Amino acid sequence: MPMSKSQNVKASWLGSTPYREAWDLQAELVSALRDGRGTDTLLLLEHPHVFTMGKAATADHLLWDESERSRRRVEVIWSDRGGEATYHGPGQLVGYPIVDLSHFNLTIPTYLQKLEQSLIEYLRDLGVESEPGERGLTGVWSRGEKVAAIGIKLNRSIVSHGFALNLTTDLDYFDGIVPCGHAEKRPTSVEALIGRRINTATAASDYMGHFARVFGARTEWISPESVLAAGLAQPRGSS
């Protein structure tokens, strides 16, 4: 598929970032991109313990009561992304591409397929065979268990939110929710599948190459301190 001239993607590793901070940052980057002041951006990070509830989530998807959540130090946030309940926490690579799909000539279904493919190819490098979910099941799966969740938001032609890939994630935390609305479907992690402990920052660096290749993007690392400034200052179409 032919590409336009605006396929530069700024990428940044934000380290451990509270969910609300990352959410607010995404909103600012979406606004800048929509108004022609920003650039396509890939945020890579991990969150402290949090249950996020998407637009399709309901209160009964929360299985732990408030005292148990407090004991486990896990926050609950009702989010504007699609999907139901999921968990984020240490040892999980979270990726938030804030990109204008018109820059890549992509539809939503094709974007989701490419996002899944970028994760599948990265996992293959680690020795993990995986595949997209069956019909009606989002994310990336291995041996019948979900290793990466995907949930996005669309604002005009701009997408935000993204994926969460379980590397060394404490899978016990998923017991506190009905994950993605499917009580019978269980999560897994790279560590559980192949016994390897992958550092999240290392995973972010290695994953970015797969994102760039699958999306046909030219990627450039920028510092956490400059990610918002770059999003606001760069005119659309700059290189």
Residue 180 appears among annotated catalytic residues: yes
CA distance 174 to 206: 26
In three-state form (DSSP H/G/I as H, E/B as E, the rest C), the secondary structure along 80-141 is: CCCCCEEEECCCEEEEEEEEEHHHCCCCHHHHHHHHHHHHHHHHHHHCCCCEECCCCCCCEE
Catalytic residue among 43, 180, 198, 203: 180
Inter-residue contact 120 to 132 (CB < 8 Å): yes
CA distance 218 to 72: 41
Q: Which residues are catalytic?
A: 180
